[in-house]
Amino acid sequence: MKILAVVGPGGSGKTTLIERLVAELRKRGLSVAVIKHCSRGFDIDHPGKDSWRFRGAGANGVGLVSPGEAVTVRWKTGESGDAGLAAASFGDMDVVLIEGRCIDRDIPKLELLRKGVAEELTTPLAELVGVVSDFEVKLEKPIFGFPDIKEIADLVERKTPEPTRPGRTAARRKRKPRK
C-alpha cells in the first residue's frame, strides 16, 4: 500500500485534485481509498439512532452495514496516526490518499500552492515528494501544474515509497495486475 498526503490550506484545491487523482488511479486498475481530515468534526451518530445508543452504552466503535456499503466508526481514545488508520482500515488498498492535516513525518506529502491562497511551502523538505502550483516554483522536487493529473498519478504509482510495516515481506507487497 502506498500512502500520500495531499496538503495545503482550505481553498487550495485538495479535494478537486484528489477527486481527479482517484479517477486516474482507478483507470490504471489500482484500488484507492481516501482519508479526509475534518477539522470541524463530523456527525454520523444522530441522537436516538441505534449507533448513538450503542455509543451511549459505552461501545468503543460501531459498524453500519447496508446491502451496498459499510462504515465503521471508532471513538478516539488518544492520537492515532494516519499510517495506522490507513493500515487498519485500508490495508488491502493499493493507494491511500490523505487529504489535509498530516503530522506523520513518515508519510510523503504533495503540497498545493495557489496564488493568493498559499504561496509558501509549509512542509519540511524531507517529507515533500512534490508540489502542485499555479505559479512558478523553484525547488529541487517535482513541480506540477493542477492539470497534470497523469504525471501526478505517475509520481504516486512509481515514486511514492510504501511504508514499512513489521512482518510484511516484499513478496506479500507485490500485487497481481487488476483487470
What pTM value is reported for the model?
0.78
Three-class DSSP category at 20: helix
The tally of domains found in the chain comes to 1
- Tell the burial category of 143 from Cβ atoms under 10 Å away from its Cβ (0-12, 13-18, 19+): middle
In a domain, 171, yes or no: no
Residue 52 lies in a domain: no
- CB-based contacts of 149, cutoff 8 Å, min separation 6: 17, 20, 21, 24
Q: Domain containing 92 — which CATH number?
A: 3.40.50.300
Residue 82 lies in a domain: yes
Question: Per-residue pLDDT tens for 101-154?
Answer: 777 888 999 999 999 999 999 999 999 999 999 999 999 999 999 999 999 999
Q: What is the domain range of residue 142?
A: 2-37+69-162
**DSSP string covering 73-103, please?**
EE--SS---HHHHHHHHHTT-SEEEEES---
**Does the residue 100 lie in any domain?**
yes
